[in-house]
Amino acid sequence: MDKLIIQGGAQLNGEIRISGAKNAALPILCAGLLAETPLRLSNVPHLRDVNTTLLLLAHLGMQVSVDESMNVALDASNIHNPVAPYEMVKTMRASILVLGPLLARFGKARVSLPGGCAIGSRPVNLHIKGLQAMGAEIHIEHGYIEAKANRLKGARIFMDMVTVTGTENLMMAATLAEGTTVLENAAREPEVVDLAECLIKMGARIEGAGTDVITIHGVEHLHGCDYAVVSDRIETGTYLVAVAMAGGKVRLKNARADLLEAVIDKLREAGAKVEYDDNSITIESDGKLKAVSLRTAPHPAFPTDMQAQFMALNTVADGVAQVTETIFENRFMHVQELRRLGADIEVDGHTALVKGRPGLDGAIVMATDLRASAGLVLAGLVARGETVVERIYHIDRGYERIEEKLAAVGARIKRVG
C-alpha cells in the first residue's frame, strides 16, 4: 500500500496549478445521464473518485471516453442497466448522484444504499424524500433504493438540513420533470452552482443556484455541451494552508479566491499575506502563525472540508484555538493521529481545543479519510524529522498528484509503494 514520506522543515516557493473540483466533477459526470447527445467535459481532475464514477457510468451503459488530458466525453444513448451496485457505492458515497438523473431520464433506478462512513452516519433520507415529493415510488429492498416513476412532477421541496449532494440530486431530477420544482433551504456551495451552469448549458431552466431557493422549470429534453469544471476550492485551500505553515511564497494558478472567502479570512487572521486576481492566488508567510478559532457550517461559512487542515495549522500556531465541527458528527479522526506528532488537542463533543506548540515531531501516522489525510500531510511538512503517512489511497480520492505538486515547490516528500 502506498505511503508518503515527508522530511519536515522545507519552505515552499514557486507555482502550483490547481485542478478541477472533485465535488463539482462528480455530479457533472452524473448529469451526463440526462443528455440525449454527448457531453464533453474539460478540467476534470485525475482522481480515484472520478475513475470510480466513470466505471459506474460505464456499468450503467454509458459510453465513456477519456483522453490523456482528462477531457471526458459521455454518451448516454445506450443506458441499459440502471443499477448502481453495492460494490461500487460502498467505495464512494457520491454514487448516489446517479439516482436523480436515472429516475428522471429512464423512469427507474436501483441504487445501493451507501453504508457507514468514517466521518459520520451520512443518511440520504432527504434525497429520497425529495424524489418522492416529485412523484417517485421508492422503497428500500435488500439494501437497495428501488425507485420508479413515470414522469417526475415538479414540487415544492423543503430540506430541513442543508445537503450538497441532496440539492444536486434533486436539481438534476427536476430538470426533466413536468412543471416547476422549488428547492428550499438548498445548498449554496460553488459546486452546486457549477452543476447548475452545466445543466443550463445542456438546456435546463434553472434559477437561483447559489442562493437557498433554487427554481427549476422542467423541460422535455436535455442535450450535451462542452463544459469546463470549476477549479477545486478545497485543493486550493489545502495548498494555501501548506504555505502558511511551512513558510515561503507560492502562486496558485487556476484558483478562485471568490469561492474561498472564509478560508482566506482565516489565513489572514493567522498572519499570512494573501493576494489574488481573477484566476490566481498568491500567499506569503514566514511560518509564524497565530491560532485561529473556527466553526464549520454550510457555504459561504467555513467549509468542513478545510477543518482538518486548519486543525493542523493550529497545532503549531501561537495561542489556543477552538475548532467546532457542525456538519459531520465524527470528523475529528485526525486528532489521534496529530497527537502522535506531539499535538496538544482536547476534544469535547463537537469542539476541539488546540493548544499551539513550537513544533511537531515526525512519526508514522495513518490517513483515515480524505481531508484528515491532507491535514496529516500538512503537519508532516513542518514536523521535525520524518513523517510517514500511511493508507494514502484516501488522499488519492481527492488530491491529484499531491506529492508532485508539493515537491515542485520545494517540499521534501515522496511516495513509496
Burial of 25 (0-12, 13-18, 19+ CB in 10 A): buried
DSSP strands (E only) in 222-357: 226-228, 248-253, 273-276, 280-285, 294-295, 320-324, 344-348, 351-355
Binding of ligand EPU by 163 (CB under 6 A): yes
244 is an interface residue for ligand EPU by CB under 6 A: no
Tell me if 307 contacts ligand EPU by CB under 6 A.
no
Tell me whether strands 351-355 and 320-324 are parallel, antiparallel or unpaired.
Answer: antiparallel
One of 48, 105, 110, 127 touching ligand EPU (CB under 6 A): 127
Closest separation between CB of residue 255 and ligand EPU, Å? 17
Structural contact between residues 262 and 300, judged by C-beta atoms closer than 8 angstroms:
yes
Q: Which residues of 245-267 are buried (b: 16+ CB within 10 A; e: fewer)?
A: bbbbebbbebbbbebbebbbebb
To ligand EPU, the closest distance from the beta carbon of 400 in angstroms equals 13
Cα 156 from Cα 182, distance rounded (Å): 5
User: Which residues make beta-bridge pairs with 140?
Assistant: 145
Map residues 392-411 to x or -, x wherever contact with ligand EPU holds by CB under 6 A.
------x-------------
Q: Which is nearer to ligand EPU, 191 or 400 (CB)?
A: 191
Q: Is residue 30 flagged as an active site residue?
A: no
Give 147's DSSP letter: E
* Closest separation in Å from C-beta 136 to ligand EPU: 15
Measured in degrees and rounded to the nearest 5, phi and psi for residue 222 equal -120, 150
Q: Using CB under 6 A, which of the segments 161-169, 341-349, 350-358, 376-384 binds ligand EPU?
A: 161-169
- The answer to whether residue 271 forms part of the interface with ligand EPU (CB under 6 A) is no
Is the dihedral angle over the CA atoms 38, 39, 42, 48 positive or is it negative?
A: negative
Number of residues that bind ligand EPU (CB under 6 A): 24
Cα radius of gyration (the chain): 21
Stretch that binds ligand EPU, among 143-151, 163-171, 202-210, 339-347 (CB under 6 A): 163-171
* Pick 185 or 322: Cβ nearer ligand EPU: 185
List binders of ligand EPU among 323-382 (CB under 6 A).
327-328, 370-371
Shorter beta-carbon distance to ligand EPU: residue 23 or 387 = 23
Does 23 bind ligand EPU (CB under 6 A)? Our answer is yes
Specify burial of residue 19 (Cβ count, 10 A radius: 0-12, 13-18, 19+). buried
User: For binding to ligand EPU (CB under 6 A), which residues are involved?
Assistant: 23, 26, 93-94, 120, 122-127, 161, 163-166, 191, 304-305, 327-328, 370-371, 398
Q: Which residues are catalytic?
A: 117
